[in-house]
Structure 1
């Protein structure tokens, strides 16, 4: 546990160059396909808004909104997600490191409660599983 709360970091190495991984996260059509999202809007710039409707196993639809706080193409993307009942968005950092024709990707977040961290970590693993499948099929 960090001094500010409960955090996690998931790191994987993907079989795709960093530019392809970046495009998968920042291209509306690509993101919708691998993230099981519909109605995707991505304005990838600092202060730009994003929104989507996540379709989770079982068919439930969860609308999500937020904005980008940091954008460094092919390196770092920090996204804030609006959460009902919270004054400040929950931030998620995506860091990319080239490894030849592969990419090391790290997703990280910090939460006030362990339960929130655990739920988000599970969701992030599902996202990375979908991204891995998408990149393998591309």
Structure 2
């Protein structure tokens, strides 16, 4: 798995690029199937619900390493199977969801290049979101290559 990081000039956006040793369809299923998502995305078993279509909703309860639980909710803003997922994440106190874009591109091997982008309101929010996204991509990469804990 290769890793690349790019932070655009505005300072409140980030972009993470990875190449995973798995076909795009496998990466897509890991990201859009509740039981698979729960295995790599730090979600409590049974807490993940997904209606993967534009306007469909999702929810998951994230479990932190210290045992804290944080319920997350949102909707799917754009869906193009095996290629593009724009996920809206509800943010308390904000009228619009925070959008995270996940692009998949099939490469030879089979490999998949995944590009994750998000724009945040502040540098602090960006840093926190980027750290969380980096952890997710690390875990996703291990999961799709069979290196994840069982």
TM-score grouping bracket, smaller chain normalisation:
over 0.9
1:85 paired with 2:93, answer: yes
Give unmatched runs, 5+ long, in structure 2: 1-7
Which residue does the alignment assign to 1:46?
54
Q: TM-score, normalised by structure 1?
A: 0.95
> CA offset at residue 110 of structure 1?
0.3
Larger relative contact order (Cα-Cα within 8 Å, sequence gap ≥ 6): 1
Residue-by-residue CA offset, 1:46-66 (whole Å, 9 max, x unaligned): 000000000111111110000
Instruction: Give aligned pairs, total.
Output: 137
Give unmatched runs, 5+ long, in structure 1: none
> CA offset at residue 109 of structure 1?
0.2
Which residue does the alignment assign to 1:8?
14
Q: Which is richer in strand?
A: 1
Cα distance in 1 between the residues matched to 2:19 and 2:57: 28
> CA offset at residue 2 of structure 1?
5.2
Cα distance in 2 between the residues matched to 1:41 and 1:2: 35
1:22 paired with 2:33, answer: no
Residue-by-residue CA offset, 1:79-130 (whole Å, 9 max, x unaligned): 0000111111000000001112000001100011000000000000010111
